[in-house]
Structure 1
Amino acid sequence: MAERVHPAADSPPQSGQFSGNFSSGEFPRKPAPPPATYVIQVPKDQIYRVPPPENAHRLQLLSQKKAGRSRCRCCFCSILAAIFILAVLVGLSLGVLFLVFRPEAPKYSVEGFSVSGINLTSPSPISPKFNVTVRSRNGNGKIGIYYEKGSTVDVFYRDVDLCNGALPVFYQPAKNVTVVKTALSGSRIQLTSGMRKEMRHELRKKTMPFKLKIKAPVKIKFGSVKTWTITVKVNCDVTVDKLTAPSRIVSSQCSHDVDLW
């Protein structure tokens, strides 16, 4: 006769096998936790609400840092919004001024260019002098131009700055042509032997090239409103026939640029 094997009292029930008597209202008991395992029950109202005493100070510091970062973000966003609104207002104002006044850039040309003080037969330093006459035409019907202090006028041969000076301070009204004369001078400019030879060659052809550079701070007048300071840059390529006064301009071509800020 085969032996019947009874399961041990502490062995888990097999599949489909339950312990206890359901008919008597008894339910299976929860399995006991494995050895060395602890179950700690914490009241629900103490979870995430009341930190331990040793962490209370740290929680307060973290809360203060978070609030400070939030205030900084709000302040930064407010500054960006103010800058954006200001830029929009400035753009709209400039657009209105452009539509009303229809501004156009003034035109510049060189009317006179007298040279002296350049000796090409001696290796000694030179002290050149230039008398330059510049014609400025303001074709705007409602815009005046203030030429202010701080302008610079330079004459170059190749990359050598031969002399410098400044424009006079003046106001040019609308629909006006102004002719400005300025005297430029240089002191003890040393030319290389190769540069002297090149200048003598160009002088024999009566095509001595120079570059005139003007940088002038100006303010534009729209009606009764005057703008901030704007820098006008004029570059002219001037060719003369000789290095003595009076000299004749063989060719002249000017270009200009404007720095609004």
Structure 2
Amino acid sequence: MHRPPPYGMAGDGRPPPYPYGGGEYYPQERRRGGNVCVRCICCCYCVLFFIVLIIAAIFLYFFTVYDPKAPIYKFEALDVKEFGYNDSNINADLIITLRADNPNKAIGFIYEEANTFNLTYSGSTICSGKFPSFHHGQKNVTMLQIELKGKNPFAKGLYESLQVSESHGKVPLTILAKVPFRFVLKDSKLRELSILANVTMSVHDMKLGKKTEIDQGKIDYHFEK
């Protein structure tokens, strides 16, 4: 069966106009450029990546050139000038010998005067003193003597505990210190920081006029601005 054409012919033999109106149809093009927020986030990530890369390069340069090492401190001896206690207070005058070793080739340390240095027993302060201010130069070993004095009240029960520790010949002590210092890179001084140290030790004898060795235990420390 013969089907009619999809459209009829006009009177002059030409096909009728395009069914969607005049002219040819062109699909609308999508807008270019993407989402502005996405581009902004990408830019931020790129900037952050380059900042991290620069910081990593600075740290790599610092550790390669200066090769930083932590200084080594060891409490070697305790000189008992005065030491007495009863059930209410304790009176002490002690001198601690400290060996400070700076193994760095290009980094020094300057220790400031404003500091605290306390010797305690079971959380109770026995005596206090000052860490000496000095410039700890590169590749240097310095022996320091720190005098600690004090007459302080004893917490309840520590009198008997200290007697037992002395009878066993091993008195557990703790040093609590806060010492401000500065790093020195060659001739440049950096900003001031403070080191907070907690050092445990055992002293074999606390007899008057005797110099005894110290068994140094764990050292905990952290820095603060």
| Fold match (TM-score > 0.5) | yes
Does residue 96 (structure 1) correspond to residue 61 (structure 2)? The answer is yes
Structure 1 residues 91 and 189: CA distance shift in structure 2, 3 A: farther
1:105 to 46, 55, 70: 70
1:238 pairs with one of 201, 217, 225: 201
The amino acid across from 1:158 in the alignment is: S
TM-aligned CA distance change 1:260 to 1:198, over 3 Å: closer
Partner of residue 151 from structure 1, selected from 90, 115, 124: 115
Matched, 1:163 2:136: no
* Higher Rg: 1
Offset of 1:258 from its aligned partner?
A: 3.7
Q: 2:152 aligns to what?
A: 188
Q: 1:191 to 1:114 in 2, by over 3 A?
A: farther
1:175 and 2:145 matched: no
Given that residues 76 and 214 in structure 2 are in contact (C-alpha distance below 8 angstroms), is that contact kept between their aligned partners in structure 1?
A: no
Q: 228-237 vs 213-222, which deviates more? A: 228-237
1:111-260 map, 5 Å:
111-120=76-85, 122-192=86-156, 194-243=157-206, 244-259=208-223
Q: Shift of residue 149 of structure 1?
A: 2.0
- What CA deviation, in whole Å up to 9, does each residue of 1:176-232 have, x standing for no partner? 11111111111232342x211111111111011111122211111112222111222
Gaps of 5+ in 2: 1-48
Q: How big is the shift at 1:247?
A: 3.9
**Partner Cα separation in structure 2 for residue 248 and residue 226 of structure 1:** 38
C-alpha distance in 2 between matches for 1:118 and 1:260: 34
Q: Does the Cα contact within 8 Å between 2:117 and 2:178 map onto a contact in 1?
A: yes
- Does the 8 Å contact 2:128/2:150 carry over to 1? yes
Q: How many residues align?
A: 178
Q: Is the 8 A contact 1:232 1:256 kept in 2?
A: no
**TM-score, normalized by length of structure 1?**
0.60
d(CA) in 2 for partners of 1:164 and 1:107? 22
**Larger % of helix: which?**
1
State the distance in 2 between where 1:88 and 1:133 align. 45
Matched residue SS, 1:168: coil
**Mean Cα displacement is larger for which, 147-156 or 238-247?**
238-247
Residues 250 and 144 of structure 1: is their aligned pair in 2 closer, same or farther, counting only changes over 3 Å? closer
Q: What stretches of structure 1 of length at least 5 have no aligned partner?
A: 1-83
Higher strand proportion: 2
Larger RCO (CA under 8 A, 6+ residues apart): 2
Query: Post-superposition shift, 1:249?
Result: 2.3
* Alignment TM-score, normalising by the size of structure 2: 0.68
